């Protein structure tokens, strides 16, 4: 099937998203000349494949529940924000807050992701081939992150039940995050995640597992009697 | 929220296009700051006559109709020097003068208190105003300006009033300009410390305090990088700052880096903006090295 062509040079973001939303399942579409445009392919619930042909802006593929969005370039803040199902794949780097609050689906960053990747993750899967910036996985509640490269400072600060696997070095752990022993189940999970991301540089048996120490789970009103 | 843009040219062949490129970048940042905007543009100004090489050029603005030629004569007489006038739009002018900086500024304050001097320097001019960025650029004819470096700001005010004086850039010393996205929380404390050294702010704006702090450090002999390090050390808050001098172009973000910044570098230029789409129209952008400055990293380019 020939893809539907939509160009940011001719159409507003609302026109593009409205056109994408009406496509029958299985229809491929290409969005041309994004030139850093925000909010492309947002809020789609149909099972379409959307290729964004260039560098895009904020919130790309956010709130999706079905489509597979591929960005042939880099993206700004909050790619795949609040994703529910489906996937967003970025061929380049992603700026801050990649996959923020995503509930489901898969976000793949083939390059690096900046600060706060996976902030407040609520069940989604975030796969970053390269490095992530500081405070990644901050307050992540559920879901999983695989970081092929290095993680900057304060990884997994105030983690709840999300698990973070890191292939490279960790600059520092955030408050209440801890390194845990890698089990066979973890190795199998990482192998599957690396295959899903198409990462051949991740060695599943050599990643570091980061999870919550659960020390901050309950607010202790009497702690140090400071309150 | 505010929008920052800046362009530092390495290739002189682009200098005739500087104003055009800055204008399109500024307009792209309208969504981040629709209430006011400003721009600082640096250009080489060959002296019209021998002996004028060290003259300062003052950006002046009057909220009321004014006879700029008459004002120039009176300032020249009072401050003791030549004053040349270049009109700029309907409400602004550029005065070139060999009178000393302090006596020139004192003369303006005494003779025409309704006239503000948003900036001065040997290379830099500043225009700023309330309103939409595109309208401001058009009113002052910015697209036709040439130069080697410029920065701009689109403002969505949070900390202080929407007026021309509260708009960015802040340019408290010769050829020094600062634009800021974010908010400082301890600026009243720092403003008090500066006041005790005799340094006065023109407005109650938080960003002006950062500009004055950098200017104060540089007046003590620090370079721009040291000035920015002082901001990192002394000032508390959220910030992406873009600061320029006659020869330098610098970017710094606070330790959380929660105000955006993206830099694109090619063999022809260094460009910075709050969001990539402000850079997307630059020549050769698809071949640029595009990156985000890391928290507390100071990036400086020198002409």
Cα angle A40, A44, A47; round to 5: 120
- Confidence band for B47, pLDDT divided at 50, 70 and 90: confident
Residue A94: closest CA among A64, A56, A68, A120: A56
Q: Is B174 helix (H, G, I), strand (E, B) or coil?
A: coil
Distance, CA of A175 to CA of A160 (rounded, Å)? 11
- Complex confidence, ipTM: 0.91
Mutate to test the interface with A, among B240, B261, B262, B277 (most CBs of A within 10 A): B277
Residues of B in contact with A74 (CB under 8 A): 276, 290
State residue B234 phi and psi, 5-degree precision: -95, -30
Which residue in chain B is spatially nearest to A54 when comparing CA positions? B286
- Confidence band for B211, pLDDT divided at 50, 70 and 90: very high
Q: How many CB atoms lie within 10 A of CB A172?
A: 12
The model carries a pTM of: 0.94
The per-residue pLDDT for range A4-16, each reduced to its tens digit, is 999 999 999 999 9
Structure confidence at residue B49 (pLDDT)? 76
Residue A128: closest CA among A180, A164, A181: A164
Structure confidence at residue B61 (pLDDT)? 95
State residue B29 phi and psi, 5-degree precision: -95, 10
All structural domains of chain A: 4-209 (2.160.20.60)
The per-residue pLDDT for range A91-139, each reduced to its tens digit, is 999 999 999 999 999 999 999 999 999 999 999 999 999 999 999 999 9
CB B107 within 8 A of CB B81: no
- Confidence band for B89, pLDDT divided at 50, 70 and 90: confident
Residues of A near B (Cβ–Cβ under 8 Å) read 35-38, 55, 57-58, 74, 76-77, 95-96, 114-115, 133-135
- Confidence band for B54, pLDDT divided at 50, 70 and 90: confident
> What residue segments make up the domains of chain B, in order of their start?
2-44+123-302, 51-122
Same topology between domain B2-44+123-302 and domain B51-122 = no
Q: What would the mean pLDDT of B33-54 be, rounded to a whole number?
A: 88
**What whole-number percentage of chain B has pLDDT above 70?**
100
The average confidence (pLDDT) of chain A is 96
Residues of B in contact with A36 (CB under 8 A): 275-280
- Confidence band for B291, pLDDT divided at 50, 70 and 90: very high
**The CATH fold of domain B51-122:** Alpha-Beta Plaits (3.30.70)
- Which among B258, B276, B290 is the nearest to A57, CB-wise? B276
Which residue in chain A is spatially nearest to B293 when comparing CA positions? A114
Assigned superfamily of B2-44+123-302: Aminohydrolase, N-terminal nucleophile (Ntn) domain (3.60.20.10)
- Confidence band for A225, pLDDT divided at 50, 70 and 90: low
Residues of A in contact with B290 (CB under 8 A): 55, 74
Q: What would the mean pLDDT of B101-116 be, rounded to a whole number?
A: 95
Distance, CA of B244 to CA of B230 (rounded, Å)? 16
The per-residue pLDDT for range B149-179, each reduced to its tens digit, is 999 999 999 888 999 999 999 999 999 999 9
B201 included as an active-site residue? no
CA distance A97 to chain B (A): 10
Q: Strands B36-42 and A208-212: what pairing?
A: unpaired
Q: What would the mean pLDDT of B53-78 be, rounded to a whole number?
A: 93
Q: What is the CA radius of gyration of chain B?
A: 18
Strand partners, B264: B271, B290
């Amino acid at each position: 099937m020939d893809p539907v062509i939509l160009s940011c040079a001719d159409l507003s973001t609302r026109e593009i998203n409205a056109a994408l939303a009406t496509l029958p399942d299985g229809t491929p579409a290409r969005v041309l000349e994004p030139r850093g445009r925000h909010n492309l392919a947002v809020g789609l619930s149909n099972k379409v494949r959307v290729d964004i042909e260039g560098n895009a802006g904020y919130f790309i593929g956010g709130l999706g529940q079905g489509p597979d969005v591929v960005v042939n370039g880099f993206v700004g803040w909050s790619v795949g924000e609040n994703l529910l199902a489906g996937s967003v794949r970025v061929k380049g780097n992603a700026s801050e807050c990649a996959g923020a609050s995503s509930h489901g689906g898969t976000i793949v960053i083939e390059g690096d992701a900046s600060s706060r990747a996976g902030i407040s993750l609520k069940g989604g899967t975030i796969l970053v081939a390269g490095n992530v910036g500081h405070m990644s996985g901050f307050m992540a509640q559920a879901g999983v992150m695989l970081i092929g490269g290095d993680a900057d400072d304060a990884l997994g600060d105030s983690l709840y039940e999300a698990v973070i696997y890191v292939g490279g070095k960790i600059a520092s752990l955030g408050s209440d995050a801890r390194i845990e022993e890698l089990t066979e189940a973890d190795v199998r999970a990482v192998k599957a995640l690396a295959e899903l991301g198409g990462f051949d540089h991740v060695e599943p048996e050599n990643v570091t597992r980061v999870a919550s120490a659960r020390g901050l789970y309950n607010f202790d009103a009497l702690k140090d009697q400071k309150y | 929220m505010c929008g920052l843009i800046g362009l530092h040219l390495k290739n002189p062949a682009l200098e005739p296009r500087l104003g055009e490129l800055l204008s399109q970048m500024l307009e792209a940042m309208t969504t981040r700051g629709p209430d006011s905007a400003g721009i600082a543009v640096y250009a080489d100004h060959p002296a019209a006559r021998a002996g004028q090489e060290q003259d300062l050029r003052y950006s002046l603005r009057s909220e009321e109709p004014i006879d700029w030629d008459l004002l120039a004569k009176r300032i020249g007489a009072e401050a003791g020097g030549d004053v040349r006038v270049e009109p700029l739009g309907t409400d602004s002018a550029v005065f070139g003068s060999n009178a000393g900086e302090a006596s020139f500024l004192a003369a303006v304050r005494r003779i025409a208190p309704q006239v503000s001097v948003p900036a001065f320097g040997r290379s830099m001019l500043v225009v700023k105003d309330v309103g939409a960025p595109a309208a401001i650029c058009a009113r002052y004819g910015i697209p036709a300006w040439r130069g080697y470096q410029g920065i701009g700001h689109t403002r969505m005010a949070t900390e202080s009033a929407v007026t021309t004086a509260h708009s960015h850039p802040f340019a408290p010393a010769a050829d020094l300009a600062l634009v800021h996205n974010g908010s400082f929380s301890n600026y009243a404390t720092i403003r008090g410390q500066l006041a005790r050294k005799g340094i006065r702010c023109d407005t109650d704006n938080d960003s002006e305090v950062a500009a004055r702090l950098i200017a104060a450090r540089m007046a003590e002999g620090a370079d721009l990088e040291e000035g920015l390090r002082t901001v990192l050390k002394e000032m508390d808050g959220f910030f992406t700052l873009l600061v320029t001098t006659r020869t330098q172009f610098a970017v710094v973000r606070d330790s959380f880096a929660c105000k955006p910044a993206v830099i694109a570098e090619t063999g022809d230029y260094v460009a910075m903006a709050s969001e990539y789409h402000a850079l997307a129209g630059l020549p050769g952008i698809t071949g640029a090295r595009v990156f985000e400055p890391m928290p507390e990293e100071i990036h400086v380019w020198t002409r």
